Every structure is written in structure tokens, then in C-alpha cells.
A and B are shown apart, each in its own frame.
Chain A
Amino acid sequence: MPGDAPDRVLVDARRALLDALDALSGHLDHIVLVGAQAIYLHTDEVTLGVALFTKDADLALVPPLGAKPDIEKAMRQAGFYHGDQPGIWLDETGQVDLLVPEGLAPPGGRRGARLPGHGNRAARKVLGLEAAAVDNEFRVVAALDPDDHRSVRMRVASPAALLVAKLYKLGERQEERRGDRLDDKDAFDVYRLLQLPTAELARGMKTILADERSALVGEASIGFLRGLFAAPDALGCVMAGRYIEGVADPETIRLSASALANELLAQLGPE
């Protein structure tokens, strides 16, 4: 709950984020905070009795990046080591994911991004983050541990860009029939984002649709929003309701998510 001492896992996740940003400070202008930590920065006020929870920090790297500092070397020096996939960096308590929007990545590589001068396992390519490169804003991101006085002014993906990324992830996995990889929490995050002022989301979506770098994923995500959230019994609404079962009435969440999705779709105009 707001005002309570933040959960230890969140504190560690923020610490790992700031450690990574220290290491990569030479690239700071090309880094956009995405994922759960960005969502929580925007949705602080949206309380539902569901604890904020994330153990990792997701950073989008927006090419072209300079060759210095070498990401691979800088991350290792900061105490991170590779996880099982390109772009996953671990330390004792935290995880940092370095992600490159696939549509903006230099050609080559299957999963690992080919960033000149940075090693093939430094960052991973992900579709759906293109919107974060286009629509973001500077925010101050501070440590959550009272003894840690660090804070960084950095780019944070806009709510609309985060919505695009989440919808894209959900939609892609559903289309690939990878139901086992569909995570109820992603659907609930969509609902969390939809609770923000609809006009603000619509403005961001229009920016994303107007930029050729993000227009395609933007359009796809609106299709996913329609398919997954427009009806209260659509998969996304059902998943969001299921995520909160036991804390709130899943039916309330299903109806709410659907109502908000339709509000946004209406503001975006006809198909």
C-alpha cells in the first residue's frame, strides 16, 4: 500500500536498476526504462490491493549506440553476470534485462542484438518496444532503500508505449498459441495502465501511430486490445480477473478492463 515500507524485492530490483544505469551512464540518453518498474512509476496512484511486485529491471537500448562504454565490460565491472539468454544480466539479488526494440536493431543475430562493439550477448532483441523508443518522458528514478541516496533522471516509456509493449507480448503469445507462456500478470498490468486517464493514453497512442518506427507495432497492439480486452469475457479480461482472484471480485475487474479498453478504442476512432 502507498506509504508502507516498500517490499524488499522491489528495493533490490530498484538497486539493480541503478547499478546498471551507473555502469551504462555513457549511454543514458539511449536508454528507456520499460517493464514493471516503469509501469509502477506511472500507476502509483492506482491501488487495488495488489502488491506491486517485480524482481527485475527492463531497459530498452535505442540504437544507434556509441561504442563506448562497452556494455559487456561495463556490466561485468558493475558485478553483473550473464543469465541463460542474451541480454539477461544477474547479480546476487537482482536481474537487469537489456533489450533492443527489434524493429530498430541492426540486422543480424537470432535473439542477441548485434550492437557494434558491444558483444553478441549484451542485449536481446524484443518486438513491441519500438513504441518506448518513440514515446517517452524524462522522470527521476530514485533508490527505494532509505540508505541509498542515488537518483537518476532518465527516459521512462510513456503509459501508451508500455501498453503497446504489454499488448504486443500478450497478443504475440496468444497468436503463436503459446498459452503456457501467457502470464495473467501481463493482462493485469494492461488493466493497471488502462486505469490511467484515457486522454493521456490516446495522445500517446497517436504519437506512436504517427511515427514510422513504431506505427506497425502500434497498430498491431490496438488490434490485440480489441481482441483481448474489448469484451468482458475476452481472454485478456479473464486473465486480469483471474490474477486478482481472492483479493477483488474477478467479475468487477473483467467488466472494468473491458469498459476502459472500449473507452480508449473509442478515442482512437474507427478501425
Chain B
Amino acid sequence: MIGTLKDAPAPSSERELLASLETMLVDRMPDGWSVAIDREPRGQTPGEWRPDAFLAVEAPNKARARLAVEVRASLYPRDTYALSSELGSLWLRPPVPKGRIPTIAGVDGVLVLSRFLTSRTRTMLENLGFSYADATGNLRIATRVPPIFIERSGAESNPWAEDRPLRSLRGPASARVVRALLDFAPPYPLRLLADLAELPLGSASRVVSFLVSEALVERSGRGPIESVDWKGLLRRWTQDYSLLEANRSRFFLEPRGPRALEARLQALDAPYAVTGSLAAARRAEVAPAALAAVYVPNIEKAASRLGLRAAPSGGNAVLLEPVADVAFERTWDQGGITFAALPQVAADLLTSPGRGPAEAEALIEWMEGNPDAWRRPGSRPR
């Protein structure tokens, strides 16, 4: 079965993963069990975590459990702790007093869904009281009340492991390499680039090979990276990366306008980086910002700190959990506010709705005229 999976493309979006979960459950549930997925959960309260979907499972004895589903493109063992504290207010972690039920109304547990979960990640999730599923067929649904238990095994190794040439610039490793290539002016050896991108040499090498094949990076043989077509790279990246799809995002309403949000960012006790129009306006203003876009490590916590109201539509502020935390790196400050690096801002605007692309063009033009203001020579990080 691994052979067949390997030929199939890895489900990459939340939608694809939920679809794969549904298929797997329908195909592999024992007789007499039924499942339903609600992909558009409603009724969210501002500042609170909202599940990506709800999963209802009904056993042959009519016991019925409702699980909140948290979708993650990838999940490493260490991430499980963060997940646990993030959802901690909703989900009692073991040791759970016997007979206690989770504190969120109508939810009997939380199921973490990802492309592939290693056995270590699965064990940790289990210990922390989560149900889980991955796109290779690993599945464990365990709820105390009502008592439901299902466990199935899928792949033991990641069928989509990165052992073949890269074909796109999706994902965190690409983001890290692209940002390093944009932020630091060549020449530099590959090893230094990998250090700057904080990646293993192999991962950096795969991205660079792809970019060499796309003629965006020049490198002779195994020598140093000699030049980077930064504008071309920016545009190529945004074919695979987009602000609202690559990053986890949620829209909010700031009734006093996008700029009013800026003034309150100092209230955050975690790192943040303002991107999009508000950042570009500091360098090349086209028009007053219509949308505030801010990277934060945790959307729900930040929204609650900032007192933002959720806006399913008509929102003018978007909080983003970045696909790679490089979004918080090489930032710059102005007027007490921290902004994302300009190449990040440009990529984000190129893929933003509304006036974003026009604002990106103005910013790129400014960047072309002021290379020293945003690009630094590559040197070994401390």
C-alpha cells in the first residue's frame, strides 16, 4: 500500500486532508459504524480556538462522539506539546479525573489530522489525550464519554518523504531557503546558505537545485551560489506560496480601521511581524491600508490579547500563523512597531486580495532602487 500512496500526491491543503480523512473513515470503519464531517464549524466566539472541522462518530451501540478536528500540514513530536497547551483550555489532559468530560460544550475530544504522523508523534498525541488520523491510514479515536475506541495502522514511514527532486516551492523549507536567498546578497557557499536558512544541508540543497533548474539561481557545479534573480525568485515563490493559503489565517474586524490595530500591537507578549499594506506603506505608500496583516505565533491568543472580533466576512485585519517561522526573522522596527522583512512583505502583497498586487509592484520598485536598505551580504550567523 505504501507503493500506491507514494504515487499519489500528498494531500497538502486542509480541504484535501479532510477529504482524505473522510474517505479513509468511510473505507475502513468496521461495519455498523457511521461517521460525518462538518467542515464549516460555526458559532465561534472571538478569541477562542475554533476547530477546522467537527467529526461525528456513531458506534453500532448508538454511542455517539463529537470530535473537534485540528488540521496540521505537518506535526513533529515537539509540536504536540504546543498543540496541547494551545487547546488546553478546551481539552483536559491526562491525568483526567475519571468521569470528567471535556470542558467544551458538545465536543467529546480533539482529533489531530495531518499528512503523516510518525510513531513517536502518535504516541505523544495518545499520551496527551488526543485522537489522531493521518493520510496514510494511521487512526486512533478514543473518547472516554461516550466510550468509543477505534485504532488502525497506516504507514510506518512517511511515503511522501523528501527523497525525490523538489517540484515546487511549497512548504516551510522552501520558505526558509527562498527568504535566505532574498534577504542575503550572494555570493556564498551552499553550506552558509543552509546555516542562514537554519536548515540541514540536504534540505537547502534540494531547494537550491530546483531553483538552479528554474534558472533563478546561478551556481557553477558544486561551487558557491553566485547570483540570484531576486525579482524572478519572488514571483516564482508566489506561484506556490500565497499569503492566505500557505499560512494559517483568520479574519477579524477592527472597527477603527487597520491602522488602529498597529497601535495596539505592543500589547502582545509574543513576537509578531506586520506584513502587507501597513508594512509596504512605510516604504512606498500607494493608498491607505485596507487590510492589516500580522504574523503571530498563535492566532487565538493574539486575537484575544488584541480584543479583535472575528469576522467571517468583511474583516479588515488578518492574523496569520506562518508556514515557516522565518516570517519572524530579519524584521525591522519603525515607530515602535515590528515589520516583516521586505521580501516577505512583497511576496505577501503579491498574493493578497484587493490592491495588494499593485502595492507589491510599488514596493518592488522601491526595493530595486534601495537594495542596501533590505539586502545584506551573507555572513555566518552568530
Contacts and interface: CB of A to CB of B under 8 A. Distances in A.
Interface in B163-198: none
Nearest to A232: B314
A47 B257 contact: yes
A266 interface: no
Interface stretch (A32-40, A119-127, A211-219, A253-261): A253-261
A49 B253 contact: no
Nearest to B256: A195
B334 interface: no
A172 interface: no
The interface size bin for chain A is 10 to 19
Interface stretch (A16-24, A173-181, A244-252): A244-252
B290 A259 contact: no
A256 B315 CA distance: 9
B232 interface: no
A255 B288 contact: no
Contacts of A251: 313-314
A1 B288 contact: yes
Given A259-B309, A260-B255, A49 B288 contact: yes
A256 B261 CA distance: 13
A46 B256 CA distance: 8
A67 interface: no
A252 B313 CA distance: 8
Q: Is the interface of A mostly helix, strand, loop or mixed?
A: helix
A49 B359 CA distance: 15
A249 B290 contact: yes
A47 B257 CA distance: 8
A53 to B, nearest CB: 15
A234 interface: no
B257 A195 contact: yes
B338 interface: no
A49 B313 CA distance: 21
B309 A47 contact: no
Interface string B259-302: 11000000000000000000000000101101000000000000
Size category, B interface? 10 to 19
Interface string B235-258: 000000000000000000111110
A256 B253 contact: yes
Contact of B287 (A49, A256, A257, A260): A49
A249 B314 CA distance: 7
A49 B309 contact: no
Interface in A216-271: 248-249, 251-252, 254-257, 259-260, 263
B124 interface: no
Contact of B288 (A47, A195, A256): A47
Contacts of B313: 251
A164 to B, nearest CB: 20
A98 B316 CA distance: 40
A49 to B, nearest CB: 4
Interface centre among A49, A194, A248, by most chain B C-beta atoms within 10 angstroms, is A248
B4 to A, nearest CB: 46
A48 interface: yes
A255 B309 CA distance: 11
A166 B6 CA distance: 66
A194 B255 CA distance: 9
Contacts of B24: none
Given A251-B314, A252-B315, A255-B314, A195 B255 contact: yes
Contacts of A252: 253, 290, 314-316
B288 to A, nearest CB: 4
A222 B290 CA distance: 30
A243 to B, nearest CB: 15
B349 to A, nearest CB: 17
Nearest to A45: B259
B311 interface: yes
B288 A48 contact: yes
B255 A255 contact: yes
A114 B182 CA distance: 73
B113 to A, nearest CB: 32
A259 B287 CA distance: 25
Contacts of A48: 257, 288
Nearest to B316: A252
A254 B314 contact: yes
Nearest to B289: A49
A130 to B, nearest CB: 28
Q: Which of A46, A249, A257 has the largest number of chain B CB atoms within 10 A?
A: A249
Max chain A Cβ within 10 angstroms of own Cβ: one of B255, B260, B287? B255
Contacts of B288: 1, 47-49
Interface in B302-347: 309, 311, 313-316
12 contacts: A1-B288, A195-B257, A249-B314, A251-B313, A252-B314, A254-B314, A255-B255, A256-B254, A259-B253, A259-B309, A260-B256, A263-B255
Interface of B: 253-257, 259-260, 285, 287-288, 290, 309, 311, 313-316
Interface of A: 1, 46-49, 194-195, 248-249, 251-252, 254-257, 259-260, 263
Q: Which 5 pairs across A and B sit closest by C-beta, in order of nearness? A: A251-B314, A256-B255, A49-B288, A259-B255, A195-B256
Given A47-B257, A256-B316, A259-B253, 14 more contacts: A1-B288, A47-B259, A48-B257, A49-B290, A195-B256, A249-B290, A252-B253, A252-B315, A256-B253, A256-B256, A256-B257, A259-B255, A259-B309, A260-B256
